[in-house]
Amino acid sequence: MRFHLLALLSVAAATTGCASIVSGTNQSVSVETRNADGASVSGANCKLNNNKGTWFVTSPGSATVNRSFEALEVKCEKQGLEPGMASVKSSTKAMAFGNVLFGGPIGAGVDIASGAAYDYPNLIAVTMGKTQVIETPRQEAQSK
């Protein structure tokens, strides 16, 4: 009986990713729009997309997106203003590296394939009339 339980637990541990268990494959992001002077612009219609899907939000607002290694492309439009575009890069979460030790290559593979190993910034500020690249702050900077 103990052997079967141990075998079952070993298979479960080897086939699940740590990051996917801890924080999942989805993330809530907030989108704000501004003009070139930095003043808030409300009511812009924003489209967010990556290789995992497409989401829509009216600024200021939030959407739950699927995490991915690929950048989250954001395009915001409002009547009378030039569109604002941002390519929001993801970062690898620190727990993804720990998963190599505890979950093994299979667990790390699950997290990478599902997108659970990655994070986007929680707040995305898009400047209307500009195209920008937004880097995700490193995990060490977020915890300080």
Measured distance CA(68)–CA(90) in Å, rounded: 7
Best CA proximity match to 51, nearest among 138, 114, 137: 114
38-91 pLDDT per residue, tens: 999 999 999 999 999 999 999 999 999 998 889 999 999 999 999 999 999 987
* Opening angle at CA 25, ends 20 and 28, nearest 5: 130
Place 117 in a pLDDT band, splitting at 50, 70 and 90.
Answer: low
pLDDT band at 21 (very low <50, low <70, confident <90, very high): very low
Burial 52-68 (b: 16+ CB within 10 A, else e): beebebebbbebebbbb
Question: According to the 3-state scheme, what is the secondary structure of 68-133?
Answer: CCCCEEEEEECCCCCCEEEEECCEECHHHHHHHHHCHHHHHHHHHHHCCCEECCCEEEEECCCEEE
The confidence score (pLDDT) of residue 83 equals 98
The CA distance from 109 to 92, in Å, is 13
- CATH code 2.60.40.1120 for 2-143: yes
Q: Where are the domains of the chain?
A: 2-143
Contact yes or no for 111/99 (Cβ under 8 A): yes
Check residue 25 and give its pLDDT.
Answer: 78
Task: Answer whether 0.75 is exceeded by the pTM.
Answer: no
